[in-house]
Structure 1
């Protein structure tokens, strides 16, 4: 995570130094040429450098380790800094609007017009490049203050265009043109300022991040083996980072170790898919799902009246039943092509069942390889001593079957 902040600080330092250099150059040329508009733009660039230093300062504070007083860290300092930068953008817009109104009655006189125009052109190109660089790094590390500063720097292209038009208007003694263009450009600057202010205020109020990131988190949760369902997913932005939490529901027969493994797997996969997530809390609890898919070994297909076969790996067929709210919704039967194999019959049979994406297996006897293969895929295994499929499914729905923790047969 330190690399994220280092990239942000490096970008803001480069931006601030170049902006200060441009401000000095424009100030000197403005004094020599007698151009009020170029001097005003030098002041505007000085404000840009101030916002760049403010962005750097916000990222610097955000990197501080949590303390007893600020146990969640200082990440929101970056959002607060972004809000202050937004104020600078709006202030710059007001200054440009005021100067533009003044230009309705004033025509600038230039002493060194070509040098002044050249300075304005170079300034416009450099500031646009700086802004694009800041926004690229800001989006990469999810830094609001850096994005806000980049927007302001890119908008300097518009204010530089105003300066250029003003210089040309003064050179050619054309009245009103500079003032009209200035008012139009100030509207764009106001839009950027208010947009950045809105983003920073929302982040300070724990706004959820983009829906695309939330969808990626949901996709990860839906693909984690053992997670029956999830609820209460919450994501919030804090500076350039995202914090999240969720409650997941797992099978009721899983032990504490397995539940912990599922929780750790969720956190690892989510952080891998959404790089800006710094912390993700998983609360796991066992429950009875409304929809479940169970599997039972049978010897002869008689539908729900089929009798359960005694051994999992040697069953001729399997019946797969979909339960909804403890009621049988539908079922289907599949042959077991591995029941006659001399070796690895249990392993191949277990893999066959895994492919059907079942939640639970009910059997009388099962070998260690079959049991461990099913449990490794977080399929719950329950014990039943015989009877019809319909009767056993009813007992399962009533939660009267016991989980099978140990194998009952030697490996096949």
Structure 2
């Protein structure tokens, strides 16, 4: 990008942010980043998320605007379905943007964990928006199957499909990459459905080719197929977001905890739990050590485990480590380490 263009984007708040952050650890399945330095980790990651959301909104708005012009010219219901969904996809930037802004707020006496859960709520709103766009697109496609209309400007129609693909792929790259960096389920889910949208946009080209060959129903059929693809996105996104809302977690996360504990032979994990609060991971772990150990030695073990956890799990925001008896099946009582 030319230097002048980059400066203009930065003036309007769309330039990338500089962070005092870096990733570390070799067992990082989440591709996160554990931040250090004077910049608060949550603010740094949410700034990065907001940057991706802004770019997504700009790209999809431009894409949808260009497609809408061709919809008016061609009368294509397939392109209409794709455009409606691109508009809905751009609109999803709003709840995500609000969620990331709220997540920057410090914990309060009421919200002691902060407002990271707002990201999950934003995910639910996004699912609702996508579902609505699927219903609208499906209705239009079915209506066109019943009441066929002539589709014109086939060259422009095909070009609009390609534009839709390029716009959505650009957004997908932004959202997935940044979502993985900051471990935001909502942002990653939105990125993957943007990628699927890009593929469905290419279906518009196929529909235009079918009409050009003389098969008039190719356009509404493609529109209906795009609708079915959107419903598939709704299902996948809803499952991902609801899993996190119910404190569900990838079993690999517990595997990471076990892997980190293996570097501290004196600590035997009795119980390990973890959950996401927004895009930050919180772990609750009970370990067993020899009862004859002095308190100071037990503290050294918990400190060593905590160090290994943060070293191997860059997305980890907090680790609550409790002590249990060496022969206990379940943790009880104990010492907390943060």
TM-score (norm: length of structure 1) = 0.64
1:8-407 → structure 2 map (5 Å cutoff): 8-35=49-76, 37-104=78-145, 105-110=147-152, 112-171=153-212, 173-207=214-248, 209-227=249-267, 229-285=268-324, 287=326
Tell me the CA shift for residue 48 of structure 1.
Answer: 1.0
Which structure is higher in helix share? 2
Q: Does the C-alpha gap of structure 1 residues 183 and 114 become closer, same or farther in structure 2, counting only changes over 3 Å? A: closer
CA 31–177 in structure 1, closer or farther in 2 if over 3 Å, else same: closer
Q: Secondary structure at the match of 1:103?
A: helix
- How far 1:79 moved relative to its partner? 1.1
Larger proportion of strand: 1
For 1:132 and 1:193, the matched residues in 2 are separated by: 20
Relative CO higher for 1 or 2, CA cutoff 8 Å, sep ≥ 6? 2
Q: Number of residue pairs matched?
A: 287
Give the Å deviation of 1:289.
8.4
Query: How far apart, CA to CA, are the structure 2 residues paired with 1:236 and 1:173?
Result: 55
Q: Which moved more, 1:78-87 or 1:90-99?
A: 90-99
User: Residue 7 of structure 2 corresponds to which residue in structure 1?
Assistant: none
Gaps of 5+ in 2: 1-40, 330-338
TM-score (normalised: structure 2): 0.77
RMSD over aligned CA atoms reads: 2.4
